[in-house]
Structure 1
Amino acid sequence: MRFLSYYADGGIHLGVETEGGVVDLTEADGTPASALELVAGGSAALDAVRRYLGTAPPTRALETLALASCVPDPGKIVCVGANYRRHSAEAGLPVPDNPIYFAKYRNSLSGHRQEVAIPPGTVRVDYEVELVAVIGSPARGVTPAAALDYVFGYATGNDLSAREHQTRTSQWMYGKISDGFAPLGPYLVTADEVPDPQNLDLRTWVNGELRQDASTSDMVFSVAMLVSDLSQVTTLEPGDVIFTGTPEGVILGMDEQVWLKPGDHIECEVLGLGRLSTTLVKG
């Protein structure tokens, strides 16, 4: 199933896409009212959604909705750097022996079709299409073989980056946490629709020009390895999201670096998970 979150009635509603349109779940009795309730509820929550859909509820047209991040309130936003072999090569980085982690925060989240402001004085803005894994049940000390059982679903993400801030020290976070710099969505797609997260195509377009075109098969550390590794030191909770890294094709790796600017339109897609659109504006 494909879930989304959108703004309505002064808050954020949870919806599910059907052939006839988007069905609101927040206003229905007996169904999860938010993305966090959905992922924490697991199979029972999904069964409740299926029962409700069987009643032929009213639908809304997707194009009329103002979408939020498909997971609006994660407890953790964990990101992984240099996790594609060819991206490491283009960035002049060695292939890491261990995952490189950094964090983003809730202020960085934005939704499909939202405008994102470039902070004043920031020039070297870059895109990064990413497969994002969403945790569905508490995970602590899990093995790689069992790790995917703890993933509720997946989404398309864009790890927008301010490169001059990212590289000013050895810690990348300052260039990653600007408001809106973690577009996520449009959909949260349940894991049963993604039988192999290591066999997905990823693409990015800037103003209609294809910039990234790769596969998750080029990951250094698989989704299962990342979930397992993180769970050794922290409990991953329902709703936590993991941005799993970007493939080659970013501006940072180009010989002629023309950075993103106000007015640019970025589309990121992970095949089967939806295309995520972001427009940059002046901050």
Structure 2
Amino acid sequence: MQFLSYTRLGIPGFGVRVENGIVDLTGKIRPGVTNLRQAIHDNCLEEAADFAAGRYAEFTEADVTLLPVIPDPGKILCVGLNYETHRAETKRPDAKYPTIFTRFADTQVAHRQPLLKPRVSDSLDFEAELAVVIGRGGRYIAQSAAMDHVAGYACYNDATVRDWQRHTFQFTPGKNFPSTGAFGPQLVTPDEVGDYMKLRILGRLNGEVMQEATLADLIFPIATLISYCSQFTPLQPGDVILTGTPGGVGDRREPPLYMKAGDIFEVEIPGVGRLTNPIVVEP
């Protein structure tokens, strides 16, 4: 199934894709379940699928304004240097453990919404990634059971303000400018995706492929990331783990290639979706 978060007539809600449109699920599965994070928390995605089965679309995507897949995750845990091609281009040493940093929920934008190049930098870079949404929380999750904790997958552009990323050894400032984390268009459930390692990921700038890899190329696979993160923080339903970006980022090109006003960046993962965002300058 493919789930969407959106506003319609100014009211936030969520729904599921069906043929030719969307079936609205806001408050219709259980009382009080009015957003996708709540539906995941209450373990009612299967009920949502049953509710939508055989129903006609109530409206189309053109009738709604999409929101980030999970607009208000409790945690966004980002993984750095998780493809060998990216680790090599950064000239970073091999690591025994994943590199983890955080992104704030209020930095996110949805499919087709603009990414903002901040006024204080000309170094806004692209990072095509697969996002994993946690479905069942836990602490000290075993790798053997970790994939049972996945609610679904989505595309993400973990855009980075490179000069601010390098002000110190901490990544946080460069990863948390407003409207720099694009998340969408939809959450795709694991049964529809199948073996995620067979997925390809592409990042395109103005139609030209900048990044390309398969998810089998991850240095630390998803089960390892879930297990590792759950050891230092309890994972909750609706939390998001960004699995890292392949090589080819603009910062490591000669000369560097950063996103500017008028550009369009796409993250495509066949079987998961295509996330498209224009770039504008911060007012």
Partner residue, 1:153: 152
Residue identity (%): 37
Partner residue, 2:236: 237
Note if 1:11 corresponds to 2:24: no
Determine the C-alpha separation between the residues in 2 that align with 1:257 and 1:100: 24
Partner residue, 1:259: 258
Determine the C-alpha separation between the residues in 2 that align with 1:202 and 1:60: 30
Determine the C-alpha separation between the residues in 2 that align with 1:139 and 1:35: 19
Runs of at least 5 residues in structure 1 that lack an aligned partner in the other structure: none
1:237 maps to a residue whose letter is Q
| 1:193 CA drift (Å) | 1.8
| 1:131 CA drift (Å) | 0.8
Deviation string 1:162-202 (CA, Å, 9 cap, x unpaired) is 00011111111110001111111101011222222222100
DSSP-derived class of the 2:114 partner: strand
Determine the C-alpha separation between the residues in 1 that align with 2:49 and 2:237: 21
| 1:137 CA drift (Å) | 1.2
C-alpha contact (below 8 Å) 2:126/2:258 kept by paired residues = no
Deviation string 1:205-251 (CA, Å, 9 cap, x unpaired) is 11111111111111110000000001112110000000010001111
| 1:58 CA drift (Å) | 4.1
Which of 253-262 and 76-85 deviates more? 253-262
Partner residue, 1:201: 200
TM value normalised by structure 1 = 0.95
| 1:64 CA drift (Å) | 3.4
1:95 maps to a residue whose letter is D
1:96 maps to a residue whose letter is A
Determine the C-alpha separation between the residues in 2 that align with 1:212 and 1:73: 28
| 1:106 CA drift (Å) | 1.2
C-alpha contact (below 8 Å) 2:8/2:63 kept by paired residues = no
C-alpha contact (below 8 Å) 2:128/2:203 kept by paired residues = yes
Determine the C-alpha separation between the residues in 1 that align with 2:147 and 2:46: 20
CA RMSD of aligned residues (A): 1.5
Determine the C-alpha separation between the residues in 1 that align with 2:98 and 2:190: 23
C-alpha contact (below 8 Å) 1:197/1:223 kept by paired residues = no
Q: How many residues align?
A: 281
Determine the C-alpha separation between the residues in 1 that align with 2:165 and 2:53: 49
| 1:35 CA drift (Å) | 0.8
| 1:27 CA drift (Å) | 5.0
2:25 maps to a residue whose letter is L
Determine the C-alpha separation between the residues in 2 that align with 1:230 and 1:21: 36
Query: Superposed, which structure 2 residues align to 1:201-220 within 5 Å?
Result: 201-220=200-219
C-alpha contact (below 8 Å) 1:109/1:182 kept by paired residues = yes
Note if 1:281 corresponds to 2:280: yes
Partner residue, 2:23: 23
DSSP-derived class of the 1:95 partner: coil
1:14 maps to a residue whose letter is F
C-alpha contact (below 8 Å) 1:91/1:252 kept by paired residues = no
C-alpha contact (below 8 Å) 1:136/1:151 kept by paired residues = yes
* 4+ residue runs over 6 A deviation: none
Deviation string 1:70-117 (CA, Å, 9 cap, x unpaired) is 111100000000011111111221232211111001111110000122
2:2 maps to a residue whose letter is R
Determine the C-alpha separation between the residues in 2 that align with 1:76 and 1:242: 8
Partner residue, 2:270: 271
DSSP-derived class of the 1:37 partner: helix
Query: Superposed, which structure 2 residues align to 1:1-283 within 5 Å?
Result: 1-28=1-28, 30=30, 32-42=33-43, 45-54=44-53, 56-283=55-282
Determine the C-alpha separation between the residues in 1 that align with 2:268 and 2:18: 20
C-alpha contact (below 8 Å) 2:29/2:48 kept by paired residues = no
C-alpha contact (below 8 Å) 1:115/1:278 kept by paired residues = yes
CA 51–194 in structure 1, closer or farther in 2 if over 3 Å, else same: closer
C-alpha contact (below 8 Å) 1:203/1:268 kept by paired residues = yes
TM value normalised by structure 2 = 0.95
